[in-house]
Amino acid sequence: MVQFPGPAGTLAVEAALKLARKITGRTEVIAFTGGFHGASLGALAATSSPLLRGAAGVPLTDVAILTYGDAAHPDGTDPVTALERALGPRAGAAPPAAILLETVQGEGGLHTAPRTWLARLRELADSAGTLVIVDDIQAGCGRTGDFFSFEDAPELHPDLVCLSKSLSGMGLPMAALLIRREIDQWAPGEHNGTFRGHNLAFVAASAALDHWADPRFTAHTAELAAAIPTGLTSIDAALPAGVAEVVGKGAMSGLRFADTAVADGVQRALFHAGIVAETSGQGHVLKLLPPLTMSLTEWKQVADVLGDAVLHTVR
């Protein structure tokens, strides 16, 4: 089932959280460090950035933020153990209504969830009657090679999926919530809104989705998703050990620099060369989000400029 909750991604997240709480009759949600889900209050409660949370002006409650992925937290916390405790029986406490996560974190610094961790997360959620919400707003719509970022982790099979950004093909205002049919339990008019259908966005989205029926486009998307990490790996190999590492997945990849000044310098050098990139992960990650229609020749040109910018900045 597809619901159009409003034109912004944060509204898809709000609808998902609201529906999960309605279905389960529970209030608490699990989210993760590094996650960004939006700036409206419900989505913001599941966003870990202290800067963004500080702008709320009210307490952000009913969300427990756990360590993302399967790597131990610096304080020694094991993420899987933390999940097991949060989803296991607790005296006098109901299990969470939902788990909200990005399988590739955009603003969090291109952290990619390991498949084994996702499988365990789903197993624990099923045992607790907890729904799984994937925020695919930035990582979806082909960014990682497949249309959805989690297609190579079939064990996850989310209950709700939030989409926006690239969904309209041109960044026009559009968001959607995909709902597993058996949990579509909205009463008529229970979750509504005024600006849920931007006409031009729907036309552009329909045209963009037509590309996915073209095997030439899907083959090119897969080639681009393989070429970008390969090119970044070549750039990283030319650097001294420990300066950077390749992170992300497919066309949603980048370089994580130990020194934020290097990431910032590379970003500015690219801008002066006519290439727009951004930083994430608290300024450590240079993140690439190229159009999926970029040719491999164009990517090679970008990679050459990026490689020169990185070497110049590091030196």
Question: Over its length of 315 residues, how does the chain's per-residue pLDDT go in tens digits?
Answer: 899 998 999 999 999 999 999 999 999 999 999 999 999 999 999 999 999 999 999 999 999 999 998 766 666 678 888 898 888 776 567 899 999 999 999 999 999 999 999 999 999 999 999 999 999 999 999 999 999 999 999 999 999 999 999 999 888 999 999 999 999 999 999 998 888 888 999 999 999 999 999 999 999 999 999 999 999 999 999 999 999 999 999 999 999 999 999 999 999 999 999 999 999 999 999 999 999 999 999 999 999 999 999 999 997
* Closest to 311 measured CA to CA, from 243, 231, 253: 243
Tokens read off for 199:
């006409």
DSSP 155: T
* Closest to 169 measured CA to CA, from 215, 196, 206, 134: 206
- Distance CA(30)–CA(32), nearest Å, equals 7
Domains of the chain are 2-211 (3.40.640.10), 215-314 (3.90.1150.10)
Beta bridge partners of 287: 254, 278
Tokens read off for 48:
């870990």
DSSP 90: B
Beta bridge partners of 249: 252
What are the start-end ranges of the E strands in the chain? 2-3, 29-32, 63-66, 98-101, 131-135, 160-163, 176-179, 244-249, 252-257, 278-280, 285-287
pTM listed for this prediction: 0.95
